[in-house]
Chain A
Amino acid sequence: MYALPGRHVILALFIAFLLLPIYWLINMSFKTNLEITSTMTLWPLQPTLANYRVIFTDPSWYSSYINSLEYVVINTVLSVSLALPAAYAFSRYNFLGDKHLFFWLLTNRMAPAAVFALPFFNLYSAIGLFDTPWAVALAHCLFNIPLAVWILEGFISGVPREIDETAFLDGYSFPRFFVKILLPLIASGVGVAAFFCFMFSWVELLLARTLTSVNAKPIAATMTRTVSAAGMDWGVLAAAGVLTLIPGAVVIWFVRNYIARGFALGRV
């Protein structure tokens, strides 16, 4: 009833548009550099795993994947756990300056990373965190905490206040109520918030690159190495790109049932 005319065609075209560039990257990652530069083939004629072998045998390649995942995980845990009580407060209480505080938090989501690159470099160098995953994790909190607060506030507001009141009448202390009753009720919200923190920390490059040099270098920065005197190593570049798609795809698979609501930030 009231379906869009030609909707299968529209959807198929859009999905093809989304998948084609990704397919091309995957296609290239299985080719040799000779095949990439000399011919135009729609699929690898001589499929090779050599590009992937380069990445998995060179510590400077695979350790940068671990570096990236490290700061992403620290950031996600930190953002969600700090945002939970704050979101509860914004959802349930009026307090002095609450609306201004909420808007101020959101303004940090609007701050261009380029503005903060240099001052962050100074700040984290001064306190000795430069080139550690903590520097990047804390820097990413700047835009992830406001987002997590915003998402969780939406989900907590969907829980009727009577549940809080009943729990307190039953003698639950605040922390026990929070963990035993509220958290299970907003479990999907916590999942969605974690998903978004993961997403925005994983895709960001400018700050991650500025705040690291050797030890905590993220994969995104290592990829620029494929430009060398001998020309571009297209095959390895493509293989490294393909490997960065995997964590995202895995995470999407786990939250696929909540994706739609999550993208509406719990406000539908």
Chain B
Amino acid sequence: MEKITNQKGWFLVLPVFALVAFSAVIPLMTVVNYSVQDTFGNNKFFWNGIGWYQELLSPSTELGGRFFASLWRNLAFSAIVLAIEMPLGIVVALAMPREGWGVAFSLVVLALPLLIPWNVVGTIWQIFGRTDIGLLGYTLNWLGSDYNYVANPLDAWLTIIAMDVWHWSSLVALLCYAGLKSIPEAFYQAASIDGASRWAVFRAIQLPKMKRVLLIAGLLRFMDSFMIYTEPFVVTGGGPGNSTTFLSIELVKLALGQFDLGKAAAMSIVYMLIIIIVCWVYYTVMTNAGEDRGSARGGP
């Protein structure tokens, strides 16, 4: 379907443009502003050039050390949850019932964790994991492990990863389920006539159909796991020590806790650039994948 060139399109986009510009550009300029200035309080600012950025990007300084530590921590976290949630989501989507009351029931249960406020997600797991009053912590201790997410960094990580898998695997599963539903029954019949194996059907029919939704899922999961704040903050508060201090937690500490505006602003800009660059690469890949699909199926 060819689009027609019509500059009046701008009038239709204008309200959205104005509102998003108001709530994105103005605050962003404030951040840029802070990132090149220093202050001794009293609202008196002076030019600091790229000083904050130099400090942020050299791991030997205190600020740089904190930034890189939380950056690696956050990248590791994103990699781990993606590695668990994507395959799990695919398996759950394949296991979904095709018809009957089970479909609606499974869909509603799967979607439930996604609609829980993030701090309540944190609260649920904070309670669930506690060794005195939580089912999970109590059971693990009863089985003889010395699980304690408050004191042990490894247990804290395991708890937060389990929480994220609990919270977001459904999103991947629902996306994949939508992809699977769009496969006509005739494809499966043809495969069965050809005597294709279960694995061959997965590789040749189901996986290609899910490719696009999997890209969306990967994009959303990367962005959101890289921006995670509320859930780990409620469960561990970034501890024990700094072992679960992710980028957003570190940033809020700097900006709202210590009120180090210049450092926080420089970190904000670098943080955003990382996400946008990764997503831009993804977006390009997605658009190309979409074009392949369009030519194969002859339509949107």
Contacts and interface: CB of A to CB of B under 8 A. Distances in A.
Interface string B155-185: 0000000000010011100110111011000
Interface of A: 1-2, 4-5, 7-8, 10-11, 14-15, 17-22, 24-25, 28, 36-37, 40, 42, 78, 82-83, 85-86, 88-90, 92-96, 98, 101, 103, 105-120, 122-123, 138-139, 141-142, 145-146, 149, 157-158, 160-161, 199, 202-206, 210, 219-220, 223-224, 234, 237-238, 241, 244-245, 247-249, 251-253, 256-257, 259-261, 263-265, 267-268
Contacts of A206: 229-230, 248, 252
A170 to B, nearest CB: 19
A20 B129 CA distance: 12
Nearest to B283: A103
A94 B229 contact: no
Contact of B276 (A14, A110, A160, A219): A110
Contacts of B20: 105, 108, 141-142, 145-146
A268 B181 contact: yes
Contacts of A267: 212-213, 216
B117 interface: yes
Contact of A114 (B118, B192, B248, B261): B248
B300 A115 contact: no
Contact of B27 (A7, A123, A161, A241): A123
B80 interface: no
B23 A139 contact: yes
Nearest to B267: A115
B79 interface: no
A15 to B, nearest CB: 5
Contacts of B5: 93-95
Given A113-B227, A118-B264, A268 B119 contact: no
A19 B110 CA distance: 9
B180 to A, nearest CB: 9
Interface residues of B, number: 101
A157 B4 CA distance: 13
Contact of B124 (A22, A103, A265): A22
Contacts of B248: 112-114, 206
Interface string B131-142: 011111010000
A4 B95 CA distance: 6
A160 B230 CA distance: 42
Contacts of A106: 279, 283
A111 B166 CA distance: 24
A244 B181 contact: no
Interface stretch (B9-17, B46-54, B55-63, B144-152): B9-17
B201 interface: yes
